[in-house]
Chain A
C-alpha cells in the first residue's frame, strides 16, 4: 500500500482529500472518527498506534488529533476532528487500539475531552480531585492549587 493508493481509497470512501505532509493528513467529522480509524486499521493496515492528543482552539472548539502508522508500508495517517465549540464529547478508539487507553485518559485529564466508550476514563497524570483542565487555553499558568482536602 503506497501513500498514493491510500489517498485514493480515502477519497473514494470518505470523500476527503488527504493532505500529504510527511504522512496523510485527514480531517474528519466527529461522527466518522471511529469509522475512519477502523478503515485505517483494517484496510490501510495501520496497526501501529502512535499518539493521540488535542489542541484547544478556544472559540473554535477543541481539535482531537491521532497518528496511526502502517510500519510495513510505511504509511502514516494523521487523522483529526474538530469538536464544536463548547462540546467535549468524542468517540473513543479504545476498541481498536490498546494504546488509545492511556492517551485518551491523558487527553481527558488535560483537556476535559470525554471519550465515549472508553472503559476506564479517569485522570491519569493529575490527582483525582484536581480542578480544571490545565492545557485548556483559559487555564492560567498561575492558577492557585485547590486546598488539600
Chain B
C-alpha cells in the first residue's frame, strides 16, 4: 500500500481543463473495500491512474514458509477465496512436482471436476457483480446479480456435500484429494450443470440484446495483444485479446489431456470480448465436467498414507514451478525446498495481480463511469492480488 507523492494543488476554474485528483475506493462499491485507484481527471475523462493495493495483504509467501506441506493447502485457499479449489490445487501440484508424487487417476479426475465447478461458480460471481456494478444501464441491475448468485449457490451446495465447506474447502492434499464423492453426488452435479446451462442462454439474451450493455462494453477498455503480453495478463483477458493461451492446453495438468474442450479466443480485446470468452468458458467447463463424470475411474483418491504429525511429509531438496488455469488465469506456485517439512521459499504468481497491473495502461482516455465497467471485466479478486 503506498500513497502518492504530494500533488500540486490546482485551483479549480470549472473550465473543464484543470486536473482533479479523485480517490475511487477503497469504499467504492465496485472496489469491494480493498482497492483504491487515484484517478487524475480532466473533466469526466481519466488521464492517469495510480492503483493502490495491499489492503488485504497477509504475506502468504511468508506464511507458506512457516507452515508445513500438510498445513498450508487449506490456507492456500485463502489466496483466491472466490476460487479456492484452484488455489489449493496450484500449491499441491507444485509440491507433487518437486516431491515426484504420483496422483491416482481418480483423484486427477476429481480435481478436474471441482476445478471446473469452481470456474462456473467464480464466473457466476463475476458476471453478477459486474452487471451490478454497471447498475442502472441493465434495467435495474440487480436482476442478473441475483440470478447468478442463485446459480452459484447451487455449486456451493455441491461443494458443501463434498467437503462440508462452502467457501474454503481444504479438498486437495499432496498426493490426491481428501474427500471422495458421496453417494448420488454425481447425479446432483449433472442436474446442477444442466440447470446452469439452460440459464446461460437466459443471461445471454438479457445482456446481449440490451443496447446499454453493448454500448458500455463494446470498444471499452481495449487491451491490445502487445499490452497483454508485456504486462503478463492471463486467463480470459489474454484470450479476449487474440492469444489462445490456456494452461490447460499449453501444459496439461491433472487429467486435462483426456478431455475434449475448446479454448475460446476473441480478438477485439474490449470488455465485451472478455465477456464472450467467459460465457463460452462456462459451457466448456460444463462439457468437461460431464466428460469427467462419465469417465470417473474407480480406485484410491490419494497415493499418500495418512500422517500422524504435520511435519511428517518431507519433500526432497529441489525447486519447481507449477501453474494451473484458474478462473482468472495462470495461478502458479514456485517452491524451493531444502529437504525439510516446510518450503524454503514459496512464490505465488497470482493471476489477478498481473491482470490488475494492466489498468494503468487501459483506463486513461475513458470516462469515470467506464472505469467500473473495465475493472469488473478484469475480474480481480483481491485476496489473490495482495496475497
Asked if A78 is an interface residue, CB under 8 A from chain B, the answer is: yes
Asked whether B357 lies within 8 Å of A51 as measured between CB atoms, the reply is no
The distance in angstroms between the C-alpha atoms of A111 and B184, with both chains bound, is 50
Q: Which residues of B contact A (CB under 8 A)?
A: 1-3, 53-54, 57, 59, 61-62, 66, 226-227, 229-232, 243, 245, 250-251, 320-321, 330, 332, 334, 336, 344-345, 347, 349, 353-354, 357, 361, 386-387
Q: Which residues of A contact B (CB under 8 A)?
A: 22, 47-51, 53, 55-56, 65, 67, 71, 74, 78, 97-99, 101-102, 106, 110, 122-128, 134-135, 139, 141
Asked whether B232 lies within 8 Å of A134 as measured between CB atoms, the reply is no
Asked whether B349 lies within 8 Å of A50 as measured between CB atoms, the reply is yes
Asked whether A98 lies within 8 Å of B231 as measured between CB atoms, the reply is yes
- Chain B residues with Cβ below 8 Å from A55 are 336, 344-345
The distance in angstroms between the C-alpha atoms of A71 and B250, with both chains bound, is 9
Asked whether B229 lies within 8 Å of A141 as measured between CB atoms, the reply is no
Asked whether B230 lies within 8 Å of A125 as measured between CB atoms, the reply is no
Closest to A46 in B: B229
Could you list 20 A-B pairs, sorted by A, with CB under 8 Å? A50-B332, A51-B232, A55-B344, A55-B345, A65-B334, A71-B245, A74-B250, A97-B230, A98-B227, A99-B230, A99-B231, A102-B354, A123-B54, A124-B2, A125-B386, A126-B54, A126-B57, A127-B54, A134-B59, A139-B62
- Chain B residues with Cβ below 8 Å from A127 are 1-2, 54
User: How far is the CB of A138 from the nearest CB of chain B, in Å?
Assistant: 12
Asked whether B53 lies within 8 Å of A125 as measured between CB atoms, the reply is yes
- Chain B residues with Cβ below 8 Å from A110 are 61
- Chain A residues with Cβ below 8 Å from B321 are 22, 67, 78
- Chain B residues with Cβ below 8 Å from A67 are 321
Asked whether A48 lies within 8 Å of B59 as measured between CB atoms, the reply is no
Asked whether B2 lies within 8 Å of A128 as measured between CB atoms, the reply is yes
